[in-house]
Amino acid sequence: MSEFTLKIRRYLPESGEAAYWQDYRVDLDGHRSVLEGILTAKADQDGTIGIRCSCRAAICGSCGVRINGRAALACKTHLDEAAEGSQAGDGEIVVEPMGNMPVIKDLIVDMDAVHWKKIQRVTPWLLPDGPPPEREYVVPHEAMVDVTQSMACIQCGACVSDCLSMEVDPEFVGPAALAKAYRFVGDPRDGQHEERLHDLAEDPAGLYDCTHCFNCIEACPKGVAPMNQIMRLRRAAGDDYEIDDRNNGNRHERAFTSLVRDNGLLWEAELLPRSYGGDSFFGKFAPAAGLELADSLPSITRALLRRKVTPMGALRPHKIPKEDLAQIKHIFDKIDGRDERFELNLYIAGEELEGDADIPVETEGSSA
């Protein structure tokens, strides 16, 4: 038995007072969960502590909170591990409600207002074309493996809590909803793939609003890797259905890629005009690119005055050794030379061979 200090953020709406911190000391074995610590404090010291929980087995996703500043399942986080990761370095375990969602009481957030509303936004059910089959839909094994990772989501909201894009833009559809969207875009039984992708690509708060911060990947307790699913939605929208969205998301990605391929490094001054005017040196002369450049003049001027960029540095691409540039182009040529886009998920796929029961099945890596 060891003593652990839980610093819990309290908020009692009926009191009319602002949120505050309160410490609780509990004596438990270190391998017990943070949830057990909170429930012990609730049972023995303060019955007014509010927390949502159910299964205690990291399956239901109910007990999502922030522990030491990061979203996590309280039932999956051990007390000794949380104490070692204390923000203050004194072993104090800081527990607070998840972010990007309104707080109802203490550690309980209103998931209906944000999380479930976003999930409903992506039409989270199959929309098959034509009449249903006489018996059942037959889905190829590899197709189900493709969506297994997104199907593993337990809707805990951890990724929503730590999403930086949602913190800046609350309208962003969000990582959980977009991961759910890929679950149907990747399912061959769904007949509305292009319509789904077009809808999410055209939405200013849709799939191109993700800023690739990787927070959702780190927060997810089930390895769903929502950002990977968002990238796969983008590949499907841009490469498979050639959707040029009004947000210039697909054109921006193409310009980014070609600049790195041609120069070895990103040429920042060319990125904006090529994203709006076309993926070539002459893109800056397109009317749409001219308007964006004019709007950006104040920012460009401040960057020049603060010496964050020089005129010649903006007008000329970055230079790297020729042998390094050749290696980068070789990588692009190898990827572009594939007949099909190579995408794998983090879940297990394979076939059991007769007489080879001891041979492990193949484990697939992340999408590429």
Q: For residue 138, what pLDDT is reported?
A: 87
For 323-360, write each residue's pLDDT tens digit. Answer: 999 999 999 999 999 888 877 666 655 555 555 555 44
Handedness of CA 186, 188, 194, 200 (dihedral sign): negative
Q: For residue 364, what pLDDT is reported?
A: 41
Predicted confidence band of residue 363 (pLDDT cuts 50, 70, 90): very low
**Prediction pTM value:** 0.88
Handedness of CA 292, 298, 302, 305 (dihedral sign): positive
Question: Tokens 């841009």 correspond to what residue?
Answer: 238
Q: At what angle do helices 193-202 and 175-185 cross, to 10 degrees?
A: 150
The residues with which 103 forms a beta bridge, in sequence order, are 109
CA dihedral 149, 155, 156, 161 (to 10 degrees): 90
**Mean of pLDDT values over 190-213:** 96
Q: For residue 345, what pLDDT is reported?
A: 67
Q: For residue 48, what pLDDT is reported?
A: 94
**Mean of pLDDT values over 27-43:** 98
Are the CB atoms for 114 and 97 separated by under 8 Å? no
For 139-198, write each residue's pLDDT tens digit. Answer: 888 888 889 999 999 999 999 999 999 999 999 999 999 999 999 999 999 999 999 999
Pinpoint the residues of the chain covered by CATH 3.10.20.30. Answer: 2-109
Pinpoint the residues of the chain covered by CATH 1.10.1060.10. Answer: 115-240
Task: Judge whether residue 123 has pLDDT over 90.
Answer: yes
Are the CB atoms for 256 and 332 separated by under 8 Å? no
Q: How many CB atoms are located within 10 Å of the residue 252 CB?
A: 18
Q: At what angle do helices 268-277 and 287-295 cross, to 10 degrees?
A: 140
For 281-311, write each residue's pLDDT tens digit. Answer: 898 889 988 888 889 889 888 988 998 888 8
Q: Which CATH architecture has domain 2-109?
A: Roll (3.10)
| DSSP H helical ranges for 158-281 | 158-162, 164-168, 175-185, 193-202, 215-219, 226-235, 249-263, 268-277
At the top level of CATH, the class of 115-240 is mainly alpha
